[in-house]
Amino acid sequence: MLKFILLPVVLLVLFPGKVFEKEYQVKYIEKKVVLSDSLKVDVTWYTSSVLETDSTPFITADGSRVRDGIIAVSRNLLDYFEYGDSLYVEDFGWFEVRDCMHQRWDNTVDIWCNDRGYALQNGREQKWICWNFREETYYVNE
């Protein structure tokens, strides 16, 4: 009986902290995701016509000239964007905020195009817009 008591004591004296230590190895997988801010809005199209704009149909609200890739946002969306910001419109691609719409519109973006027929054909649709893209990393157990 004495040797069963002395063996653990001798082991603890000779190898302190090693007798009952068990090594655990936890593996983590690094995952990267792309996040963005997003909002569902009405998407419409406009052209440089005095019927659809103010008296300067080829000049945007920030003073630049209209061109492909320009988008106007309703005034309530100017809380999210500044002129020159980029945003992504679902199914249509990337656009640059350069113009704003009449105050009667809310939660709407208006894509500029140079063909009135094309603008009328596309009409009004609800789509997601996304901006402020960022990559975040997180770790999960394997």
**Coil vs helix vs strand at 6:** helix
Whole-number Å distance between alpha carbons of 111 and 43: 7
Provide the pLDDT for residue 141: 76
Which stretches within 48-115 are classed as H helix? none
Can you tell me the distance from the alpha carbon of 33 to that of 23, in angstroms, rounded to the nearest whole number?
32
Give the model confidence (pLDDT) of 99-118 as tens digits: 999 899 999 999 999 988 99
């009449």: which residue's tokens?
102
Class of domain 44-141: mainly beta
Give the Cα separation of 45 and 69 in Å (integer): 12
Closest to 38 measured CA to CA, from 124, 126, 104: 126
Q: What is the pLDDT of residue 8?
A: 55
Task: Output the pLDDT for position 9.
Answer: 54
In the chain, where are the structural domains located?
44-141
